[in-house]
Structure 1
Amino acid sequence: MTEMPTVAELLDIIRQLTARVAALEAENKALREENALLRQENTRLKKRISDLERKKNKYVAPHSREERQADPQRPGRKAGQGNFTNKQAPGFVTNEINVELPNRCPTCEFTGELTLSHFEKASVTELPSLPRVEVTVYNVPVVLCPQCGKKIRGEHPDLQAGQWGATAHRIGPQLEATIHTIRHEVAVSKRKLPRVLELLLGLKLTQSAINQAASRLAGDGSPLAKYVLELEKQLRQAAYVHHDDTGWRMGGEQAWVGAYRSEDVALFKVNPQHTSAELRAVLGEEFQGTLVCDRYSVYDAKQFAGMSQQKCLAHVIRNISDVAAQVKGRAGRGLAYLLRLKENVQDALKVHRDFQQGKTTERQFRFLGGLTRGRIHRLLSRTDLRTPESERLRAGLWKQEEKGRLLHFLEHPEIPPTNNAAERQLRRVVITRKVSQCSKNKRGAETHMRIKSVVETARLRGGDPVEVLVSLSR
């Protein structure tokens, strides 16, 4: 028979088991803590991988890519696109020279009179030795009133009020307008403008002189400032308005430049923040057109609930591509869903483009647009997606589709389906920001944006920005 353990033995076994349980509990606690740390590290690494994949797919200059594309597109014109011609003869001729007839054949060494076949035209376009500006000095009489002793200055139409003393010597309207056009249309930095003027005109100006001229031209209450207010009113009456913004600085502090673009108006506004209040201040309460924009949360504010909007499909396609890169290689059909959604969005753009180019009739446009919209609607209304990234994107797009803001252009083909126009308007602003320190204060920023609004609007309307600025300076 097996002997029953004594009480002392049982107590010893209990002590051993208790110690073993305590050790296992301590080990289990340490493993749980280590597991939590590993989970955090795993989450961090997944996010890092996702960020690197997005960065790899993001557009960068070719020389800054870590890896070259396997099959890059060839540069230059694509087959069947655009017209290629040789450089045409100049439209006007200031001098003509007759070249002497040759009297020797370099092929057979024949010397003598050669038979004239025809004349060919060749030209050389050149600058004169150095263009010079014209400087006009006005001898302004200053007289004294015999009754009160006050000084009275003579007036001339070409002289501005207060043009005496430290501000007696100024640049003329034509030169000033040209300087601002070079600054805003060509995006030459203010620091380089004096050197450009010296090279082209032999004129020496300081940055301060250029800044003062800009302040006088576009200051509060000036004809140019009033003209910009008129442009703002015209913008509110437009059928559609593009809007986008980019960063700026005023006195070293963060600010934002908003670009507003209709068919023939370009308006720029600078503000210390970019909220729905700034957007509403420009568009006003009476705006009845369509706002073309991206999916930034500002445009979903309650005060814009009744506003017609068209979300930029170029951004949507880019968002789909980014998410597709994240889910690539995972189990499930998330990637196939995203590729199918992207294909249908691209089809919607093609339907609109073909109609705008006259390849399809309005009836065909309505029919094809309806088919494409139905496919996109069915894809976005699905609720069985298991990939978090795909579901997040689908939910965001479905929210806009329910409000009629995703495919609005299929009902109104005059509305552009992308916000490319606003992004193009901001390119020179971005260049200026990169090559300068932006603005020292709000007054300088507003002056800059007012002049830019006039220059870009003139370009949109096919006019000469110099002529428009000259007309607003008198």
Structure 2
Amino acid sequence: ITNSLDAVHFDETGIYIDKKRQWLHVDSNDKYTYYEAHEKRGKIATDKIKILPNFSGTAVHDCFKTYYSYTSCKHALCNAHILRELNAITELEKQMWADPMKKLLIEIKKEVDSNWNVANTLTLDKTEAFEERYDKILKNGFAEDYSANWKLYSEKKVKKSTSLNLLNRLSAHKEEILSFMYNFNIPFDNNLAERDLRMAKVKQKVSGTFRSVEGANAFTRIRGYVSKVRKHGLNTIDSIRSIFTNNPVDPALVY
């Protein structure tokens, strides 16, 4: 994963080890999965894992600030998270701009999906047209949010609305949000990392907690191996059985 020039997904989720809240980190792509449990969520953990500090491809994530501290790689944001936030703004804050932005992102994804097998990026005229619509929706969104909340914003130290926070993120990270449009090798969302974490969450619900750090580390190594085996299309049981023989299956050698 470390030397890949393609996209790698990064995510983390809370787990309990010896009844203490800790974090399970995952770094993965369509062929490899790496898990590590750590007591910290942020940079101390990612530095210790040593993948992001040495990565030069595109990091796909949910805009967690720690990931942005690594500048040797490019960044792409998960649009599934953004779509959920846009839905919430439409339903809870009743602001009109969120629905057109949601429809635009979905429209761009459909355009990318219909062209991915014949090109690696959308044509210049299409990207410019989509960018123009994106910017127009943002402009309308800022105006609408200010109109709805100007009395609050006139007060000192007022907390920004959820809508304004998202508008600021959509504005500041436009390139990372639309990166899947510029390069078809970049995914629309970070769902791969979320799927790779799902079984760990299931185990957490069943077991409640890992009883020791050693047990958590054993689980991450086994689960990482099983995930890689499946991603390479190998038989899971046969691969696990091979570990106890003189010829263990190494998914990294399978292409």
Using the size of structure 2 for normalisation, the TM-score is 0.81
1:274-295 Cα offsets, whole Å, 9 max, x none, are 1023223331433111111112
1:115-141 Cα offsets, whole Å, 9 max, x none, are xxxxxxxxxxxxxxxxxxxxxxxxxxx
Q: Does residue 112 of structure 2 align to residue 341 of structure 1? A: no
Identity among equivalent pairs (%):
20
Are the structure 2 counterparts of residues 364 and 425 from structure 1 closer, same or farther at C-alpha, using a change threshold of 3 Å? closer
- Partner of residue 84, structure 2: 318
The answer (yes or no) to whether the contact 2:60–2:75 under 8 Å persists in 1 is yes
- Partner of residue 434, structure 1: 205
Amino acid in the other structure paired with 2:2: R
Structure 2 counterparts to residues 77-88 of structure 1, below 5 A: none
Q: Does residue 172 of structure 2 align to residue 399 of structure 1? A: yes
- Partner of residue 2, structure 2: 236
Name the CA distance, whole Å, in 2 between partners of 1:379 and 1:344. Answer: 9
- Partner of residue 473, structure 1: 244
- Partner of residue 451, structure 1: 222
Q: Does residue 198 of structure 2 align to residue 421 of structure 1? A: no
Name the CA distance, whole Å, in 1 between partners of 2:126 and 2:76. Answer: 19
1:116-172 Cα offsets, whole Å, 9 max, x none, are xxxxxxxxxxxxxxxxxxxxxxxxxxxxxxxxxxxxxxxxxxxxxxxxxxxxxxxxx
1:298-342 Cα offsets, whole Å, 9 max, x none, are 323xx32453111011110110111111222xxxxxx22111111
Post-superposition offset of 1:262: 1.0
The answer (yes or no) to whether the contact 2:8–2:60 under 8 Å persists in 1 is yes
The answer (yes or no) to whether the contact 2:121–2:184 under 8 Å persists in 1 is no
SS of residue matched to 2:96: helix
The answer (yes or no) to whether the contact 1:309–1:405 under 8 Å persists in 2 is yes
Structure 2 counterparts to residues 206-285 of structure 1, below 5 A: 235-238=1-4, 239-282=6-49, 283-285=51-53
SS of residue matched to 1:236: coil
Count of aligned pairs between the two proteins: 228
The answer (yes or no) to whether the contact 1:347–1:372 under 8 Å persists in 2 is no
Name the CA distance, whole Å, in 2 between partners of 1:366 and 1:276. Answer: 37
- Partner of residue 217, structure 1: none
Query: Structure 1: 5+ residue runs without aligned partners?
Result: 1-234, 329-334
Amino acid in the other structure paired with 2:96: A
Which of the pair has the greater relative contact order for Cα pairs under 8 Å at 6+ separation?
2
Are the structure 2 counterparts of residues 425 and 284 from structure 1 closer, same or farther at C-alpha, using a change threshold of 3 Å? closer
Post-superposition offset of 1:363: 7.2
Amino acid in the other structure paired with 1:472: I
Post-superposition offset of 1:260: 1.7
Name the CA distance, whole Å, in 2 between partners of 1:284 and 1:345. Answer: 28
Post-superposition offset of 1:346: 1.4
Query: Structure 2: 5+ residue runs without aligned partners?
Result: 149-160, 246-255
Structure 2 counterparts to residues 88-127 of structure 1, below 5 A: none
Name the CA distance, whole Å, in 2 between partners of 1:439 and 1:397. Answer: 38
Q: Does residue 138 of structure 2 align to residue 375 of structure 1? A: no
Are the structure 2 counterparts of residues 350 and 236 from structure 1 closer, same or farther at C-alpha, using a change threshold of 3 Å? same
The answer (yes or no) to whether the contact 2:120–2:185 under 8 Å persists in 1 is no
SS of residue matched to 2:101: helix
The answer (yes or no) to whether the contact 1:454–1:465 under 8 Å persists in 2 is no
The answer (yes or no) to whether the contact 2:109–2:188 under 8 Å persists in 1 is yes
Query: Rg bigger for which structure?
Result: 1
Post-superposition offset of 1:455: 0.5
Query: Counting helix residues as a fraction of each chain, which structure ranks higher?
Result: 2
- Partner of residue 57, structure 1: none
- Partner of residue 66, structure 2: 298
Post-superposition offset of 1:271: 0.9
Query: Counting strand residues as a fraction of each chain, which structure ranks higher?
Result: 2
SS of residue matched to 2:131: helix
Post-superposition offset of 1:422: 0.9
Are the structure 2 counterparts of residues 473 and 377 from structure 1 closer, same or farther at C-alpha, using a change threshold of 3 Å? farther
The answer (yes or no) to whether the contact 1:245–1:256 under 8 Å persists in 2 is yes
Post-superposition offset of 1:472: 2.9
SS of residue matched to 1:473: coil
SS of residue matched to 2:176: coil
Post-superposition offset of 1:343: 1.4
Name the CA distance, whole Å, in 1 between partners of 2:221 and 2:123. Answer: 40
Post-superposition offset of 1:267: 1.4
The answer (yes or no) to whether the contact 2:112–2:122 under 8 Å persists in 1 is no
Post-superposition offset of 1:436: 0.7
Using the size of structure 1 for normalisation, the TM-score is 0.45
